[in-house]
Structure 1
Amino acid sequence: MEQFGGEVPGRLEDLVKLPGVGRKTAFVVLGNAFGRPGITVDTHFQRLVRRWKWTDETDPDKIEAAVGALFPKSDWTDLSHHVIWHGRRICHARKPACGACPDRPALPRPTARARRTRRRRRSC
């Protein structure tokens, strides 16, 4: 209340100053409430982007940068939602439901340049 006058701040730098708000939560708020694209790196996102060989990074900030380089900024928020949903519902950590996998048709594909520069990813 005191710091932002009862308004939800619309900048990453301000959001992460709030108690309990980190980059992950801040990007969800920015993407959904303010229409500002961001990559939300949670445990599902981390696991899947490494499984699909989009990156070998383990640090969330580095994962964010590596995956962000593969997709247009305008796709980042939806990409995050799709990957996280896929990790929660289909591509589980210990037992992926590969038979039920729709081969991620809802996920945008990396640009042609990015496909040429990254290693082949394992199929689900």
Structure 2
Amino acid sequence: STREELVTLPGVGRKTANIVLGSAFHKQAIAVDTHVLRVSNRLGIAHADNPDKVEEELTRQLPGNILTAFTLALVLHGRETCAALKPKCPQCVLYRECEWPEKPAI
């Protein structure tokens, strides 16, 4: 299956199609959810509020063979450490690389 085929299904958008491509068909794809959007922007590896633009930026910058794993890593990091309202910046392993201007000093 291709992304183009998957998005023709009812209720399937780009994000869901990319998740299915990565999980079921083992094809590399970035699935931009709220966590991927937030973390990639805070880290300064994306610079957009639009999921399609973030997907485009990340796909352009990252090696093609890590896109699915990178998505999963950012989702987990966004859930566990880099939360929207109360990020755990002092415990973050990416603190020094983070470009988020609102991160607290530690």
Counterpart position of 2:2: 11
Counterpart position of 1:39: 30
Counterpart position of 1:68: 59
TM-score (norm 1): 0.74
Cα RMSD after superposing both structures: 1.8
User: Identity across aligned pairs (percent)?
Assistant: 39
Higher relative helix content: 2
TM-score (norm 2): 0.85
Q: CA deviation at 1:102?
A: 2.9
Q: CA deviation at 1:121?
A: 4.6
- Rounded to whole Å, the distance in 1 between the matches of 2:16 and 2:64 is 18
Structure 1 unaligned blocks of 5 or more: 1-9, 105-119
- The letter of the residue matching 1:122 is E
Counterpart position of 1:55: 46
- Aligned pair count reads 100
- Rounded to whole Å, the distance in 2 between the matches of 1:81 and 1:44 is 10
Could you report, residue by residue, the CA deviation over 1:59-114 in whole angstroms, capped at 9, with x for unpaired residues? 1111111111111111100000000111011110111112222338xxxxxxxxxx
Could you report, residue by residue, the CA deviation over 1:37-61 in whole angstroms, capped at 9, with x for unpaired residues? 0000001111111111112111111
SS in 2 for 1:69: helix
Structure 2 unaligned blocks of 5 or more: none
- The letter of the residue matching 1:53 is G
